[in-house]
Structure 1
Amino acid sequence: MSNIAVQSPSTRFLCRITARVDPVVSLGETACGERRYVPIIGGTVSGEDFSGQVVAGGVDWQLQRADGTLDIAAHYVIRDGDGALVEIHSDGFRHGPPEVMQRLAAGEPVGPGEYYFRTAIRFQTGAARWRHLNSLIAIGMGARTAGAAIIDVHLVL
């Protein structure tokens, strides 16, 4: 064994993304579960360093697995207040007790502490101001409402 100690990561809040979404579109049952997608139609980005909007046209691809876990793969673009564009790839999971997930699916208010909603986020941009994001990973801690996904984005440093 080596005597090298690996540090625990630290994080820094970047922004809150509130992505407005259209209703879920189901492609039906596949061999792996129900395949579906959610159109991302706009939204806001708010943070001390990064504020702007979610560009309409993104998609959250989902697989509702037999074990109750929703496998998430969202791909969309955010624009900062100066017009710089940043591509977001967000992969993760949402799951919880069946009764909580049923309430969530029905559009009822559900506290984010009642279920698990986490994503690993990667960025791509050509904007000089945000180019450092191209080499960082972020963790998204999410909540879902009837018309939006709310993601608090924390950079892993």
Structure 2
Amino acid sequence: MSAALTQPALEFAFEVRVLLAAARHIGHGAGEVTEFVPITGGTVDGPRLRGKVLPGGGDWCDKRGEVYQLDARYLLEADDGAVIDITNRGYYHEEDPASPARHDGDLEVAEPGIYYRTSPVFRTDAPAHLWLARTVFVGYARGDDSEVVIRFYAVA
């Protein structure tokens, strides 16, 4: 007899507020536009991780039609001084305008009519933070041209 499969659960881990510089145009061709958005800093705050976003790194954005494919890479520094590498890939595009906002309690984590999700991978050898490199995460993002806020959930 096998056990019933349960649906994955999401556990809020932390939120990253990434500050951005102006986008830099790289090129276009065959229906695609590529830009680079430099990361200038930011904060990390949550029950499982606190710290800051280090300046440097950035987000390579490929726009095909109305869909942005995102590929960001940058560093986090935990409050204990540990450095954590993050590669965060995802998609941004408009959905059906009637699609609802997504909430975590009272906090709106995704705007209505917008699909903005990421799938991060973390690397570190700091013992206190190895759980990051051993866990699958989903990110719900929101933001504008000057900052992006990503709320990271561990998949249980």
Shorter chain as denominator, the TM-score bin is 0.7 to 0.9
Deviation of 1:34 after TM superposition, in Å, equals: 0.3
* Selected match of 2:79 from 78, 81, 84: 81
- Please give the alpha-carbon distance, in whole angstroms, between the structure 2 residues aligned to 1:32 and 1:83: 43
- Structure 1 residue 136 and structure 2 residue 138: aligned? no
Paired position in structure 2 for 1:21: 20
Higher strand share: 2
Please, which runs of 5 or more residues in structure 1 have no aligned partner?
100-110
Q: Secondary structure at 1:41's aligned position in 2? A: strand
Aligned residues: 144
Cα distance change of structure 1 residues 124 and 32 upon mapping to structure 2, 3 Å threshold? farther
Deviation of 1:90 after TM superposition, in Å, equals: 0.8
Q: Quick one: which amino acid aligns to residue 88 of structure 2?
A: S
Deviation of 1:4 after TM superposition, in Å, equals: 5.8
Paired position in structure 2 for 1:50: 49
Q: CA RMSD in A?
A: 2.0
Could you list the per-position Cα deviations for residues 79-137 of structure 1 after superposition, in whole angstroms to 9, with x for gaps in the alignment?
Answer: 1111111111111100016x9xxxxxxxxxxx722311000111100110011211211
- Please give the alpha-carbon distance, in whole angstroms, between the structure 2 residues aligned to 1:51 and 1:118: 21
TM-score of the pair, normalised by structure 2: 0.85
Please, which runs of 5 or more residues in structure 2 have no aligned partner?
98-109
- Please give the alpha-carbon distance, in whole angstroms, between the structure 1 residues aligned to 2:93 and 2:133: 29
Paired position in structure 1 for 2:101: none
Paired position in structure 2 for 1:151: 150
Higher helix share: 1
> Which range moves more in the overlay, 2-11 or 22-31?
2-11
- Please give the alpha-carbon distance, in whole angstroms, between the structure 1 residues aligned to 2:151 and 2:51: 14
Q: Secondary structure at 2:112's aligned position in 1? A: helix
Q: Quick one: which amino acid aligns to residue 84 of structure 2?
A: V
Q: Secondary structure at 2:130's aligned position in 1? A: helix
- Please give the alpha-carbon distance, in whole angstroms, between the structure 1 residues aligned to 2:10 and 2:67: 26
Moved over 6 A (4+): none
